[in-house]
């Protein structure tokens, strides 16, 4: 599971910072999460292939989280894309994007599917045989979702020594990986535990931006491998966090601690502060494993 931070600052684009956008690589998927202005430039800068992006998840309809989307959809067309593209976001996103395509007479030459979200409770919005994606209901000034990406339990790992010992034919290997026992020609049943090893524990990634302090998400994101949680303000500006429905670094750390996540990644910083190191210092007072997102930063879990 790999995370590419394309942008992680609040509000407007600047010469040295970009609004929110990131790419999560998991089980051969490359999911784009939010799409602020400049996203496609960042994709090119960090050599992320446009053609690998088939699913885009938009948390809410504030500009710093989706104003880069119309341009990206248009660029896919100019690049001759023929694979379908799925966009998941709040109700209204289809109208916003298709209006621009209509006015510019630039309909896509590929299938474009919108999955508009209105549910106020968590729901699974994507699932295949390796991954699920479910919404995390957040608290912001407009309808907003976070996203929880979860790997499914993988196949068991074959013990080469064990199958050689019992002279088991390759035809049974997939059944062993699926957890089945094997019956030998002499009637002896060899238990699966002797023929295979447990798969690696499935990983999960929780993305929470933008939101006010919302402790009732703790149960849903409990034990996540990593949590990205907005930290727009420091505690010295906690009154602004309440007013704008954002979080402080301390509040993000409190969520991470209560959920017992593996690591906390802070982001969505207000640019009023001289250094983002201040956010880490504040969060470390509450939670021990804190990382700072920054434009171009890469994480591997």
Q: How far is CA 290 from CA 28, 110, 229, 256, 263, in A?
A: 27, 41, 11, 9, 6
46 is annotated as contributing to ligand binding: no
Task: Pick the catalytic residue from 34, 64, 128, 181.
Answer: 64
62 is annotated as contributing to ligand binding: yes
Which stretches within 127-232 are classed as H helix? 160-165, 173-177, 192-195, 218-221
229 is annotated as contributing to ligand binding: no
- CB contact burial 118-137 (16+ within 10 A = b; e otherwise): eeeeeeebbeeeebbbbbbb
Instruction: Compute the half-sphere exposure of residue 173: CA atoms within 13 Å on the CB side of its CA.
Output: 11
In the annotation, is 64 catalytic?
A: yes
Name beta bridge partners: 131: 151
60 is annotated as contributing to ligand binding: yes
239 is annotated as contributing to ligand binding: no
Contact assessment for residue 224 and residue 121, using Cβ atoms and an 8 Å cutoff? no
Contact assessment for residue 1 and residue 205, using Cβ atoms and an 8 Å cutoff? yes
Residues in the annotated binding site for Zn(2+)? 60, 62, 64-65, 140, 210, 268
Residues with a known catalytic role: 64
Residues in the annotated binding site? 60, 62, 64-65, 140, 210, 268
């Amino acid at each position: 599971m790999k995370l590419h931070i394309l942008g992680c600052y609040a509000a407007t684009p600047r010469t040295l910072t970009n609004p929110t956008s990131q790419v999560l690589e998991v089980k051969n998927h490359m999911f784009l999460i939010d799409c602020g202005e400049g996203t496609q430039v960042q994709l090119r800068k960090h050599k992320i292939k446009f053609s690998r992006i088939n699913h885009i998840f938009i948390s809410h309809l504030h500009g710093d989280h989706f104003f880069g989307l119309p341009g990206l959809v248009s660029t896919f067309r100019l690049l001759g894309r023929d694979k379908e593209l799925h966009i998941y976001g709040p109700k209204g996103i289809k109208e916003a994007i298709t209006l621009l395509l209509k006015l510019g007479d630039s309909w896509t030459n590929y299938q474009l599917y919108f999955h508009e979200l209105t549910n106020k409770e968590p729901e699974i919005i994507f699932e295949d045989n390796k991954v699920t994606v479910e919404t995390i209901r957040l608290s912001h000034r407009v309808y907003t979702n976070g996203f929880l990406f979860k790997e499914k339990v993988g196949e068991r790992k074959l013990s080469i020594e064990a199958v050689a010992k019992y002279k088991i034919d390759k035809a049974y290997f997939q059944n062993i990986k699926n957890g089945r026992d094997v019956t030998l020609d002499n009637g002896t049943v060899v238990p699966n535990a002797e023929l295979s090893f447990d798969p690696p524990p499935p990983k999960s990634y929780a993305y929470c931006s933008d939101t006010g302090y919302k402790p009732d998400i703790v149960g849903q994101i409990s034990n996540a491998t990593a949590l990205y949680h907005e930290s727009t303000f420091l505690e010295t500006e906690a009154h602004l966090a309440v007013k704008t429905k954002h979080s402080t670094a301390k509040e993000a750390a409190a969520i991470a601690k209560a959920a017992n996540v593996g690591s906390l990644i802070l982001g969505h910083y207000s640019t009023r502060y001289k250094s983002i190191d201040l956010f880490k210092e504040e969060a470390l007072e509450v939670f021990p494993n804190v990382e700072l997102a920054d434009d171009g930063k890469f994480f591997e879990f």
